[in-house]
Structure 1
């Protein structure tokens, strides 16, 4: 976002919660900033509706840090707000408003928000109505909202690429597969929050739009409060980029598969050291992708990686996303009803199929109880 939009400006961002509770806190991020981030005011409130700038006036609360309305967050750091005493229901839409007197040296943001952020001039964080607010589709400076959930509750972090990030869903619809999974868990009586840590273009081994998954796993999974499970769905961009952008020799392909398997093992070991169970997600079909144009050898690599995820015993459980989406007549392709049209990303029906594939019994086990 251009620097002039930050000067003496307020941002209002809507976050879709999964668990309810009587109090919560917000984690504000300057993780990728190159200088201290000065936040000059903040508030929270229940949103009137997703995709709308207004909030419910009786619910507006100031957001403070150590009792202060302003805070300076060092470069590379993230700070928790003070706890806010306010009841939020499961699936509530919470608006977080932030006020900046000056622009950040470098913005920490998520460009695949699939949610509308609203902009207003001046310090408007305590105002319920924002008429004629500007709009962008991106999240800024917010890492998460942590709800103080009932005893025995936990959290699942879904970490992956654009398929987890929800590429192609209507903005503000909350129809990513982790959103649908969260609703499924609520319907089945599970007290488990769901955190979406997908990044479009993400790879396991190399940086893309954001950092590689192996590098961000500790911050995005292990450091979050209350995490009991992680679901890892990654690999299609590792496979696709290699054969799209350069020579793809048999030796290169063998090395990539070995590196992907080792990286998965490393993630599981790190998670287990913190009592977190890991569900492995098989890589979904992409033979119809006009972006990657995979050859038979690349499809064989995907099949080998998937067979290893299913049978290696490395994971505490497996979500067979490949089996859920593939066309039985052409297993290298996504079934037409589940294809968004690009041969790579699921349709809304496809995202629902992914959510239905996650084995709920795996979410009841503790790490090591396989």
Structure 2
């Protein structure tokens, strides 16, 4: 053909490329996460439970994406965590270990199937191309080499399954033993071509979901995730739950205090743009759980709680994160804390500070949503799971539904 033809064709193709091509700047965002720490008491497994076993865990990313990578944690380990292999696949559901074998992929770490995670460290897998929709059930299987030090999120409200030996490619993990904890699994990160924003919910057992349905994904954060995905304008907003049962602002409980874990669980999350802080009820309750204290001690304790809020706001603002304060919910009638009128006065003082403009960037008034109008120092009976402290699934639904989505615009 004449040279002129090829020249014209080349020019035509060159001219057409910008018009037809889609610009894409891929970015990673945390689609799911759990706060990992050293389990104690009943939350710890008997020694040897995970030794040389395959553990399959089901998680649900809150946003869609094109590629995935897994963050493995050895945070509480005092020696290296040795994994002989790992895999990922779509799960058939939230309440069983069965996977879709057509989606099964081996995970690699620096191109290798095995990995050694140093003590106290996290390790990212290599990305895999597994296009995922928001709220899909994703199964992550890891095979332990030896008996690991335990790093865990005990309050998973999700079932995990384990078998001795290599079962990374099993479709059903028939006859597997199970427990309701996550181990060594800190995050599932999602790569998106489109921009994404991330909400981190930092809290205690009310955020962790005590009282919600095991494998039901009906915590208040799950309700919020579903609402975001139902809104075409806000489907690019992810949310991760970094609640720990018994967590406090000031002191360690079942896990480290909120100030101690802020950097790792909030500020280090890829894509974080918003923080919802629901903390303080355990601080208020533990003050007098063993014995009464003076009025001066009550006042000093409230001042320390408010000081912790100020610290979290300042450190998040330094990273450009919008901080949304959630009011502390009622707990009079709880048999563990046996709150009296002075504890209630402390709660009211804390909530007054949260509501006062100029502190948080915005406020979610969970107190107003969940309290009994007749007895405002107590949970509404319809929202009470039975201990006068934790909401029922209906209560969590009310909390998730009460959050204005415009807060994340």
TM bracket, shorter-chain basis: over 0.9
In the aligned structure 1, how far is the partner of 2:111 from the partner of 2:171?
Answer: 22
Q: Is the 8 A contact 1:19 1:149 kept in 2?
A: no
TM-score by length of 1: 0.96
Structure 1 counterpart of 2:303: 258
Contact 2:90/2:103 (<8 A) preserved: yes
Using the alignment, how far apart are the partners of 2:291 and 2:357 within structure 1? 30
In the other structure, the counterpart of 2:7 is none
Give deviations 1:211-261, integer Å, cap 9, x for gaps: 000110110000010011010001110000111023321111111111111
Q: 1:24 to 1:259 in 2, by over 3 A?
A: same
Structure 1 segments of 4+ aligned residues over 3 angstroms from their partners: none
Cα distance in structure 2, aligned partners of 1:211 and 1:4: 25
- 1:356 deviates by 1.6
* Distance (Å, rounded) in 2 between the aligned partners of 1:177 and 1:248: 34
The yes-or-no answer on 1:148 pairing with 2:191 is yes
Which of 173, 178, 199 is residue 135 of structure 1 equivalent to? Answer: 178
Which runs of structure 2 are paired with 1:202-217 in the superposition (5 Å)?
202-217=247-262
Residue segments in structure 1 that go unaligned for 5+ positions in a row: 365-370
2:74 corresponds to which residue?
A: 30
Distance in 2 between residues matched to 1:322 and 1:32, nearest whole Å: 34
Shift of 1:65: 0.6
User: How far apart, CA to CA, are the structure 2 residues paired with 1:137 and 1:128?
Assistant: 20
Q: Which of 197, 202, 219 is the equivalent residue of 1:159?
A: 202
State the partner residue of 1:101. 145
Separation of aligned partners in 1, 2:357 and 2:286: 25
1:218 to 221, 241, 263: 263
For residues 51-96 of structure 1, the C-alpha deviation after alignment (integer angstroms, 9 at most, x for no partner) is: 1011100011001110011111111100111001111111001000
CA distance in 2, matches of 1:41, 1:3: 21
After alignment, is 193-202 or 146-155 more displaced? Answer: 146-155
Q: Structure 2 matches for 1:158-197, cutoff 5 A?
A: 158-189=201-232, 190=234, 191-197=236-242
What is the match of residue 313 of structure 1?
358
* Alignment check: 8 A CA contact 2:323 2:360 kept: yes
TM-superposed deviation, 1:312: 4.4
**2:403 matches 1:362:** no
SS at match of 1:330: coil
Equivalent in the alignment of 1:122: 165
Q: Which residue number in structure 2 is paired with residue 343 of structure 1?
A: 388
Matched, 1:199 2:244: yes
Summarize deviations over 1:174-232 as a string: whole Å, max 9, x none: 00100011001111231211100000001010000000001101100000100110100
Q: Structure 1: how far apart are the matches of 2:51 and 2:255?
A: 26
Q: Offset of 1:133 from its aligned partner?
A: 0.6
Q: Distance in 2 between matches of 1:115 and 1:241?
A: 28
User: C-alpha distance in 1, partners of 2:119/2:338?
Assistant: 40
8 Å Cα contact 1:287-1:343 kept in structure 2: yes
CA RMSD of aligned residues (A): 1.0
